[in-house]
Amino acid sequence: MFHESAVVSRFEALRSEATPLVGRNEELDLLLRRWQQAKGGEGRVVLVSGEAGIGKSRLTAALWHAIRDDSHTRLRYFCSPYHQDSALHPFITQLERAALFAREDTVEEKLGKLRELLAPDTRGDDEFELVAELLSLPNSASILNLSPQRKREMLFEALLHELEALARNRPVLMVFEDAHWIDPTSRELLDLILDRVSRLPIWSLSPSAPSSSMPGAASRM
């Protein structure tokens, strides 16, 4: 979860960062204030909602530019209308990018990269095996006898453990692009993340269309 993604969002692919940010100074100032609060240990959640084309992603780009010199970890998750039925798709692709998986990597090489990525106390226990299995890299039979529900609970705890480990080192900025397309399982995990945000230097920012429903987001701004 440590490296900036080589994959760009839709607005970056269209090079819209070159477009001046007009009429959004108030919103940007609010985001910057919330970031300062999150850096101080008061976790925050912000939902940026609006119709397509009003500049949600451009506002996010302006924020990134403004805090580029701040020490922080940036995590980016891309939701897609093509993967709404793919459980945890945004988290899987984020982990694969963060671990720098290459198409030509062997299973053993990917497992090695994953071990380097995860927190030290996650590398040798069931948590590691669960994350590896999530990435289609099963490396042990010791977790196969768990019920699907128990596996799900333990996997969620493993991913939350990783996030908390990151936040202990430096503030974390999490961005969920197009959150209105999030799959149900990712939404369940995101809800658990939001429950813990207030106790950690984490800021979750979710640019989304108006159809998105994220209970509690507005109240945590």
What's the confidence (pLDDT) of residue 127? 87
Structural domain includes residue 97: no
pLDDT digits (tens, 9 = 90+) for 121-141: 765 578 888 999 999 997 666
SS3 content of the chain, % helix, strand, coil (to 5): 50, 10, 40
Check whether residue 44 and residue 73 sit in a common domain. Answer: yes
Tell me, what's the pLDDT at 7?
Answer: 41
Q: Side chain identity at 49, as an amino acid letter?
A: S
Asked whether the predicted pLDDT for residue 11 surpasses 60, the reply is no
User: Does residue 159 fall inside a structural domain?
Assistant: yes
Nearest to 194 by CA among 212, 209, 174: 174
Structure-token pair, residue 159: 């991913």
Q: Are residues 111 and 217 in the same domain?
A: no
Q: Look at residue 2 and tell me if it is in a domain.
A: no
DSSP state of 53: T
The pLDDT confidence band at residue 5, using thresholds 50, 70 and 90, is very low
pLDDT in tens, 18-43: 555 656 788 899 999 999 999 999 99
- Considering the domain architecture, whether residues 25 and 125 belong to the same structural domain is answered as no
Residue type, 87: A
**Confidence (pTM):** 0.83
C-alpha distance from residue 84 to each of 31, 87, 125, 180, 184 (Å):
28, 8, 30, 10, 8
Do 162 and 191 lie in a common domain? Answer: no
Q: Sheet holding 172-177: strands in order across?
A: 44-49, 202-208, 172-177, 73-78
Domain assignment of residue 122, yes or no: yes
Sign of CA pseudo-dihedral 178, 85, 102, 104: negative
What ranges make up the beta strands (E) of the chain?
A: 44-49, 73-78, 172-177, 202-208
- List the domain range (segments joined by +) for residue 54: 8-91+171-221
Looking at residue 49, its pLDDT comes to: 83
pLDDT at 22: 57
Give the SS3 label for residue 22: coil
Structural domain total, the chain? 2
On whether both 158 and 191 belong to a single domain, the answer is no
- Least Cα distance to 37 among 160, 157, 200 occurs for 200
Q: What pLDDT digit, counting tens, does each position of 63-99 carry?
A: 988 999 999 999 999 999 999 999 999 999 999 999 9
Same-domain check for residues 23 and 123: no
DSSP state of 92: H
Please report the pLDDT score of residue 218 as a whole number: 38
Residue 1 lies in a domain: no
Answer whether residue 100 is part of any domain.
Answer: no
* 162 and 181 within one domain: no
pLDDT at 193 over 60: yes
| pLDDT higher than threshold 70 for residue 217 | no
* Domain containing residue 85: CATH number: 3.40.50.300
